[in-house]
Amino acid sequence: MSKPTRPLPKPTPETQHFWDGTQAGELRLQRCADCDSVYFPPRPFCPSCSSRRVSVFAASGRGTLASYVINQRNHPAFDGPYSIAVVQLEEGPRMLSNIVDCPQTPEELELDMPLTVKFEGVSDEITLPLFTKAGASA
Amino acid sequence: MTGVAVVGAAETTDLGHIPHMSQQQLHADAALNALADAGLTMKDIDGLATAGDRPTDLAYYLGITPTWVDGTSVGGCSFMLHVRHAVAAIQSGLCKTVLITHGESGRSGIGRGGFAAAPASLAGQFEMPFGPMGPTTLFTIPVLRYMKDYGMTHEQLAMVAVVQRQWASMNPRASYRDPIDVDDVLNSKMIAYPFHLLECCLVTDGGGALILTSAERAGDFPNKPVHILGTGESVETPLVSQMEDLTSSRAFSVAGPLAMHNAGISHADVDHMMVYDAFAHLPIYGLEDLGFCGRGEAADFIWEQNTAPGGSLPLNTNGGGLSYMHSGMYGMYAMQESVRQMRGVAAAQVDGAETSLCLGVGGMFGASGSVVFGTQPKN
């Protein structure tokens, strides 16, 4: 397929575990050993208490639709209008993503609806975490 | 009016080659080390200044909710300007405790933005078409004019690097520590005539951070406070070709004397000095523009070992950008060395030093910031 790719992330040493995780089919978050905060995006210290005692874990991949827009302008990597959505993860952090495998309409994209991560490889190195309606068949 | 003091200061844990950290994390590593030095946490910080990366990015990344930010970005001296602005902010009550961070993946280029000039900018229109390739071919342009006007020799320019290597040889954190002589410099690879490799700064990874608060609180921290006695700043031009005088930096001439006047000191009061040395001619310009030497006299002053270990005016005592480290925006490291000297903990400590003058440059002689540090509060 010759469809243009999205602008791709370039991992840094602090984010590599996250992108390795999506390649492996895991949505990886981090937790502070001192204050128990779970946070995203990745960094090797806690943004709540500055502790460096943090670890990486695989999140559930479940969340809800916190907010979104539906972009109407043409983007070479997308076919028609598409959602740019904030997903509220079950573990606490939020992340930006797209809601896929459903019509990109306000009627279909209902706030607070449950979502499930869907990993989509976009290059040899990069797999993006997208989200679908929970229970929807892939 | 209350004075302001440095109560926390640190560089990144490592310096030099740090491919396992992004640029943003270099800021954070230095900031966390400075907080540890001051016995503080991010929650104690209510003012944030940085350059090279945006203060918004850093505040979010570090977990700071500031009431004052400064993103002044005028090149490698930006951090000196941040100090000046932070003093004013603290004195006027905009914030209480300021963190100034620098991080730069200059060598490894991890998570670092680009520096390409926009084609429509002045530099893009009026300098880039003629083939410059970064600082080695821009910052260096004025020096032949200086050499002609004042009779400075290639050997004298080389001596700047030789003397700074003497200081670097005393510093275990310096990138280059092996002693060199003038012939070594002149026999090193020509980079942009008349500049040889050893007359050009290093390209390394690293970072640094300072924490400032009011002098009234300065005794409440675990390490010796360093007082800010005076500051100055200015800018001139983004185009080195358009400097008013190719043998003098107008920004140096404004910022340096302003800081000294602000501090109420004379030349004789300066025990220790840092002049940002991206290239070997910068200390020469700095010494003259601030009046430590007459016009055309600084090269002889350095040649005669006045700025060397044991000399009357110890200069660039960490080894400078030529030998210690240079990530791209070196000003933070110059101030870190001033702070270490005032704390009495420098690798090449100047005995009894009580006043340090730190002069920074930004762009290609485009900007300058200057800070006078002292062991005692301002009178």
Confidence at B328, pLDDT banded by 50, 70, 90: very high
Count helices and strands in chain A by DSSP H and E runs:
1, 8
Residue with tokens 């280059």, as numbered in its chain: B176
Buried b (16+ CB within 10 A) or exposed e, B124-145: eeebbeeebeebbbbbbbbbee
> Phi, psi at residue A48, to the nearest 5°?
-85, -45
Contact B20 A13 (CB under 8 A): yes
Domain-located, residue A116: yes
CB-based burial label for A13 (10 Å; 0-12, 13-18, 19+)? middle
Contact A45 B22 (CB under 8 A): no
Domain-located, residue A35: yes
Residue A106 near residue A115, CB atoms below 8 Å: no
Cβ neighbours for B179, distance < 8 A, ≥ 6 positions apart: B165, B166, B169
Contact B41 A46 (CB under 8 A): no
Mean pLDDT of the residues in chain B:
95
Residue with tokens 């302001």, as numbered in its chain: B4
**In this predicted structure, what is the pLDDT of residue B120?**
73
Chain A residue with the nearest C-alpha to that of B31? A50
**In this predicted structure, what is the pLDDT of residue B280?**
98
Tokens representing B325 are: 């480290």
Domain-located, residue A9: no
Confidence at B114, pLDDT banded by 50, 70, 90: low
Mean pLDDT on B72-79:
97
The distance of A63 to chain B (nearest Cα, Å) reads 23
More confident residue, B289 or B121: B289
Closest Cβ–Cβ partner in A12, A45, A49 for B22: A12
Which residue intervals of chain B are DSSP H helices? 23-38, 55-62, 78-91, 122-126, 143-150, 154-168, 182-187, 250-263, 282-289, 298-303, 320-323, 331-343
Closest Cβ–Cβ partner in B32, B42, B110 for A13: B110
Confidence at A1, pLDDT banded by 50, 70, 90: very low
pLDDT tens per residue, range B195-231: 999 999 999 999 999 999 999 999 999 999 999 999 9
**In this predicted structure, what is the pLDDT of residue B48?**
98
- Ordered by where they begin, the domains of chain B are 4-112+204-226 (3.40.47.10), 133-201+231-374 (3.40.47.10)
Domain-located, residue A64: yes
Question: Which residues of chain A neighbour B25 with C-beta distances below 8 Å?
Answer: 12-14, 43-44
Residue B162 near residue B182, CB atoms below 8 Å: yes
**In this predicted structure, what is the pLDDT of residue B115?**
60
How many A-B residue pairs are in contact by the CB < 8 A criterion?
Answer: 35
Question: Which residues of chain A neighbour B28 with C-beta distances below 8 Å?
Answer: 43, 45
**In this predicted structure, what is the pLDDT of residue A78?**
86
**In this predicted structure, what is the pLDDT of residue B82?**
98
Question: Which residues of chain A neighbour B60 with C-beta distances below 8 Å?
Answer: 47
User: CA A81 to CA A78: how far, in whole Å?
Assistant: 8
**In this predicted structure, what is the pLDDT of residue B116?**
65
B117 phi-psi bin (left φ>0, alpha ψ -120 to 50, beta other): beta
Q: What range does the domain containing A69 cover?
A: 16-133
pLDDT tens per residue, range B237-262: 988 888 999 899 999 999 999 999 99
Domain-located, residue A97: yes
Residue A63 near residue A88, CB atoms below 8 Å: yes
Total structural domains within chain A: 1
pLDDT tens per residue, range A55-113: 999 999 999 999 988 888 888 888 889 999 999 999 999 999 999 999 999 999 999 99
| DSSP character string of B160-175 | HHHHHHHHHTT-TT-S
pLDDT tens per residue, range B347-362: 999 999 999 999 999 9
Contact B22 A13 (CB under 8 A): yes
| H, E, C per residue of B267-307 | HHHCCEEEECCCECCHHHHHHHHCCCCCCCCHHHHHHCCCC
Contact A43 B110 (CB under 8 A): no
Domain-located, residue A62: yes
Instruction: Name every residue in B having a CB less than 8 A away from some CB of A.
Output: 19-22, 24-25, 28, 32, 35, 41-42, 60-63, 110-111
Question: Which residues of chain B neighbour A50 with C-beta distances below 8 Å?
Answer: 32, 35, 41-42, 62-63
More confident residue, B304 or B109: B304
DSSP B83: H
CB contact residues (below 8 A), chain A span 18-57, against chain B: 43-50, 52
> Phi, psi at residue B165, to the nearest 5°?
-70, -30
ipTM of the predicted structure?
0.77
In the sheet where B226-235 sits, what is the strand order? B68-70, B47-50, B98-105, B205-214, B4-11, B226-235, B367-374, B355-362, B272-275
Domain-located, residue A138: no
Percent above pLDDT 90 for chain B? 88
Domain-located, residue A10: no
| Test mutation, B18, B24, B25, chain A, max A CBs within 10 A | B25
User: CA B207 to CA B303: how far, in whole Å?
Assistant: 31
